[in-house]
Amino acid sequence: MPNKHVIFLIHGMGEHGEGWSQAGQEIIKRAYKEYPQVSWRSFAATYEFHEIVYNNEFQALRELWEAQNLALGSVLKAQGLANELVEELNALAGITNKNNFLTTHVADVILYRFMRQTAAAVRDSIRAQLLNKLKSMDASQPIRWSIIAHSLGTAVTHDTLHGLYTDSLSIGGASLTNVTRPQVLMMLANVSRILQSDTKVYQSVVRPGAPEGQYAVRYYLNVKHEWDPIPSPRAFRPKPDWPSIDVRAENLYRDIVINAIDEKNVHGFEHYLRNPKVHTALFNALSNRDVIDQATIEAAHLKFIAKTPAGKFEEWVKGLKKFQLGEEDSLAKVLKTWASFKQTVEALS
């Protein structure tokens, strides 16, 4: 029996336990049924989801520090994080002790960016989860897979894939690069550039194209919501010839910019997926060609917008303006704004 096309789902910042992706999975499956261009083929018979959880690596570190009575702020300062930034984050969250600091909204981002050991553990965890699933598939049949990553997950996914395709790994004795690679890499609220460290995102092997061996993915879908403050600073916005003119001509790299709002958490995983411009791009890339035409996409998008009552989020949009960030804003301002945005959204839920 042929292998199903596996769609890995990789979460963003914050606490995510088993089953975190169920709502997103249902959105994709419901949307799939709306397009006869793809739904003639059963989703269940063709695709399967496989969610990945990595925030347990952050939690393990927090528990270790707590057992050793270490304050996160002190550890981060020792790693080179500016005193000013730690103090500003403390003040923003009203932090009075190490336990509160450990649970701030941007703690995982800080840990990943500044704690090399933690970042390595996260990448190793994702790498193992990916490879375990891929190695469980029938190697005599084509191995097809894709990734949808969100927020912090875009950075860890980029770094993990770069490691996978620059190491000498194999499946069934053959080079991983020559055997299999993601058909689609969909990056929702892409923060891989602002969180890059040694491996620069525009120079890494995580780029779209063909043939295998030169590019880590076939399709790269970069999705940004205009009102989402998280991916705005140092946005992933490569030059028009990245990674090459030929790849751009084949439409294997796509910038998908959306602005429709149907819930206040404009950064939400599900909020991105519900937008027809997002899920139709996914279905087309999974199909390896544009089976859903532009007229159908536009009609679906207009229908989507019509479901949102006029003016429902007008005041919210005005409020979102205070969270907007510039391309070159300092990391201190970025992290403070991210934390403030996440706190505001959670207070509304």
Return all residues near 6 (Cβ < 8 A) that are at least 6 apart. Answer: 47, 48, 49, 50, 133, 134, 137, 144, 145, 146
Per-residue pLDDT for the chain (349 aa), expressed as one digit of tens each? 899 999 999 999 888 889 999 999 999 999 999 999 999 999 999 999 999 999 888 777 766 656 554 556 666 666 666 666 666 655 554 443 445 554 555 778 878 887 788 889 999 999 999 999 998 999 888 999 999 999 999 999 999 999 888 876 555 554 565 568 899 999 999 999 999 988 899 999 999 997 656 788 999 999 999 999 999 999 999 999 999 999 999 999 999 999 999 898 999 999 999 999 999 999 999 999 999 999 999 999 999 998 876 667 888 888 888 898 888 887 778 877 887 888 788 777 6
**Strand, coil or helix: what is 91?**
helix
The Cα 260–Cα 241 span in angstroms is: 29
Q: What are the b/e assignments for 206-223, b being 16+ CB within 10 Å?
A: bbbbeebeebbbbbbbbb
Query: What is the DSSP code string of 276-329?
Result: HHHHHHHHHHHHTS--S-HHHHHHHHHHHHHTS-TTTTHHHHHHHGGG---TT-
- Tokens representing 262 are 């149907």
Q: What are the b/e assignments for 74-91, b being 16+ CB within 10 Å?
A: ebbbeeebeeebbebbee
Other beta carbons within 10 Å of 43: 17
- In contact, 210 and 218? CB cutoff 8 Å: yes
Q: Which residues pair with 255 in a beta bridge?
A: 222
Other beta carbons within 10 Å of 176: 19
The Cα 189–Cα 222 span in angstroms is: 8
User: What is the pTM for the complete model shown?
Assistant: 0.91
**How many separate domains does the chain show?**
1
The Cα 135–Cα 313 span in angstroms is: 46
Provide the pLDDT for residue 333: 81
Return all residues near 97 (Cβ < 8 A) that are at least 6 apart. Answer: 71
Q: What percent of the chain has pLDDT over 90?
A: 55
Identify each DSSP E strand in 75-218 by its residue range. Answer: 145-150, 170-171, 174-175, 184-188
Q: Which residue segment(s) compose the domain that 297 sits in?
A: 5-348
Strand 174-175 relative to strand 170-171, pairing:
antiparallel
